[in-house]
Structure 1
Amino acid sequence: MKKSWKISLGVILALIIIGGATAYHKRHNVRRLLLVHQHYHRKNILSENQIKLNLRPALSTKHTTATNRLSAAYKSQLNDLKPGSANAKVIVNPYKTSPLSGLILVKTQAATKVKVTVHGDTPATTITKHLKGYHTTHSVGVLGLYVNRTNRVTLQFTKENGDKSYTMTTHGTPKDIGKNTLKTSKPQKMALGKGNQRLTFAVSSQGTTYGLDANGQVRWYSTAPISHVFKRLSNNHLLILTKISASEHKYNALRETDFYGRVYRQYNFSGLFPTRKDHSKLATNTVIHHDAIELPNHNLLLTVDDGSSKYVEDTMVEINYKTAKIVKVIDLKRMLPKSAYTQFDGTHRPDGKIDWFHQNSMVYDRKRDELIVSGRNQDMIFAINYKTTKLKWILAAPDKLPKSYHHYLLQPRSKHYRYNGGQHAVSLIHKDTHQGNTLALEFYNNNVPVTRGKTTQSKQWSAGEIVSINQRHRTVHQTWSFGKSLGKRNFTNIVGSSYAVGKGNTLIGFGYASKGKRSEFVEVDRKTNQIVYDVDRTGFNHGDWSYRAQRMSLYPGTGSVGLKKITPTD
Structure 2
Amino acid sequence: MTKKFWRIAGAVVVVLLIVGGATAYHERHLIRRYLLVHQSYAQKDVLRTGQIKLNLRPALSTKNTTATNKLTASYQKTLKALPTGKSHAKVVVNPYKTSPLSGLILVKTAQPTQVKLTVHGDRPATTIHQTLKGYQTRHSVGVLGLYANRTNRVTLRFTTKAGTVTRQTYRLTTGKAPHGIGTNTLKTSKPKQMVLGNGHTKLTFAVSSQGYTYGLDARGKIRWYGSQKISHVFKELANHHLLILTKIDANQHKYNALRETDFYGRVYRQYNFSGLFPSRQDPQKLATNTVIHHDAIELPNHNLLLTVDDGSKKFVEDTMIEIDRQTGKIQKVIDLKRILPKSAYQQYTGTHRPDGKIDWFHQNSMTYDKKRNELVVSGRNQDMVFAINYKTTKLKWILAAPEKLPKRYQQYLLKPTTKHYRYNGGQHAVTLIHQNQHQGDSVELEFYDNNVPVTRGKTAQSKKWSAGEIVTINQLKRTVTKTWEFGQQLGQRNFTNIVGSSYAVGKGNTLIGFGYADWGKRSEFVEVNRKTNRVVFDVDRTHFAHGDWSYRAQRMSLYPGNQAFTLQTIK
Q: Name the TM-score, length of structure 1 as normaliser.
A: 0.99
Q: CA deviation at 1:126?
A: 0.3
> Hey, what does 2:530 align to over in structure 1?
526
Pairing 1:476-515 to 2, within 5 Å after superposition:
476-515=480-519
Provide the residue aligned with 2:103 in structure 1.
102
Q: Tell me how far apart the structure 1 counterparts of residues 296 and 279 of structure 2 sit (CA, whole Å).
A: 25
CA deviations on 1:39-60 (whole Å, 9 max, x unpaired) are 0011110001000000010100
Is the 1:434–1:440 contact (alpha carbons within 8 Å) kept by the matching residues of 2? no
Letter aligned with residue 297 of structure 1: N
- SS of equivalent to 2:430: strand
Residue of 299, 319, 324 corresponding to 2:328: 324
Q: Which runs of 4+ in 1 moved over 4 A?
A: none
| Aligned with residue 472 of structure 1, among 472, 476, 481 | 476
The equivalent residue for 2:93 is: 92
Match for 2:521 among 511, 517, 520? 517
Contact (CA 8 Å) 1:465, 1:481: kept in 2 or not?
Answer: yes
Counterpart amino acid of 1:19?
A: G
* Residue equivalent to 2:238: 234
- Paired amino acid for 1:133: G
Could you tell me how far apart the structure 2 residues matched to 1:469 and 1:385 are? 16
Give 1:434 deviation, angstroms.
4.3
- The equivalent residue for 1:461 is 465
Alignment correspondent of 1:50: 51
State the one-letter code of the partner of 1:219: R
Please give the residue correspondences for 1:12-411 in structure 2 after superposition, counting only pairs within 5 Å. Answer: 12-159=13-160, 160-411=164-415
Paired AA for residue 454 in structure 1: K
Separation of aligned partners in 1, 2:439 and 2:476: 12
How far apart, in 2, do the equivalents of 1:99 and 1:508 lie? 27
Secondary structure (helix, strand or coil) at the match of 2:397 reads strand
The residue type paired with residue 524 of structure 2 is: E
Give SS of 2:78's match: helix
What secondary structure sits across from 1:162 in the alignment?
strand
1:62-94 Cα shifts (integer Å, max 9, x gaps): 000000000111011111112221111111000
After superposition, give the CA deviation of every residue in 1:353-394 in whole Å (9 maximum; x if it has no partner): 000000000000001100000000000000001011100000
Secondary structure at the aligned position of 1:263 is classed as: coil
Note the alpha carbon deviations across 1:269-295, whole angstroms, 9 max, x for none.
Answer: 120000001111000001000000000
Residue type at the aligned position of 1:495: V
TM-superposed CA distance for 1:558, in Å, is 4.3
User: What displacement does 1:9 show?
Assistant: 2.4
- Looking at structure 2, the residues matched to 31 and 462 of structure 1 have their Cα atoms a distance apart, in angstroms, of 45
Does structure 1 residue 440 correspond to structure 2 residue 441? no
| Structure 1 counterpart of 2:12 | 11
Equivalent residue pairs, number: 567
The alpha carbon displacement at 1:11 in A equals 2.1
SS of residue matched to 2:378: strand
Could you tell me how far apart the structure 1 residues matched to 2:6 and 2:86 are? 64
CA contact (8 A) 1:138 1:560 kept: no
- The DSSP-based 3-state class of the residue aligned with 1:327 is strand
2:374 alignment partner AA? E
Match of 1:414 among 408, 414, 418: 418
**1:559–1:150 Cα change, 3 Å:** farther
Residues 129 and 559 in structure 1, CA contact (< 8 A), matched pair in contact too = no
Q: Deviations over 1:220-273 (max 9, x none)?
A: 000011000000000000000000011111000000000000000000012000
Give the C-alpha shift of residue 17 in structure 1.
1.2
| Residue type of the alignment partner of 2:406 | P
Say whether the 8 Å CA contact 1:463–1:482 is kept in structure 2: yes
Secondary structure of the corresponding residue to residue 466 of structure 1: strand
Deviation by residue 1:16-38 (Cα, 9 ceiling, x = unmatched): 11111110100000000000001
Deviation string 1:408-447 (CA, Å, 9 cap, x unpaired) is: 0000002310000000000011112241001110000000
Contact 1:312–1:353 (CA under 8 A) maintained in structure 2: yes
Aligned to 2:540: 536
Equivalent-residue separation in structure 2 for 1:477 and 1:183 (angstroms)? 33
**Please, which moves more after superposition, 90-99 or 79-88?**
79-88
Equivalent residue of 2:80, what SS? helix
Determine helix, strand or coil for the equivalent of 1:225.
Answer: coil
Q: Give, in whole Å, the separation in 2 of the partners of 1:8 and 1:203.
A: 59
Deviation (angstroms), 1:134 = 1.2
Alignment check: 8 A CA contact 2:117 2:154 kept = yes
- TM-superposed CA distance for 1:161, in Å, is 4.2
Maintained 8 Å contact 2:157/2:165: no
Moved more, 130-139 or 179-188: 130-139
Partner SS for 1:341: helix
Secondary structure class of the residue paired with 1:8: helix
Query: C-alpha separation between the residues in 2 aligned to 1:434 and 1:202?
Result: 32
2: CA distance, partners of 1:420 / 1:404 = 22
Q: Secondary structure at the match of 2:141?
A: strand
State the one-letter code of the partner of 1:445: D
Q: Distance in 2 between matches of 1:380 and 1:42?
A: 25
TM superposition shift of 1:109: 1.5
Q: Secondary structure at the match of 2:444?
A: strand
2-structure distance, mates of 1:532, 1:230:
24
- Please give the per-residue CA displacement for 1:452-485, whole angstroms capped at 9, x wherever unaligned: 0000000000000000000000000100000001
Letter in 1 for 2:341: P
Q: Which runs of 5+ in 2 are unaligned?
A: none
When the two chains are superposed, the root-mean-square deviation of aligned CA atoms in Å is: 0.8
Give SS of 1:292's match. Answer: strand
Q: CA deviation at 1:8?
A: 2.5
- Greater shift, 151-160 or 299-308, is seen at 151-160
Residue type at the aligned position of 2:31? V
Question: Which structure 1 segments of 5+ residues have no match?
Answer: none
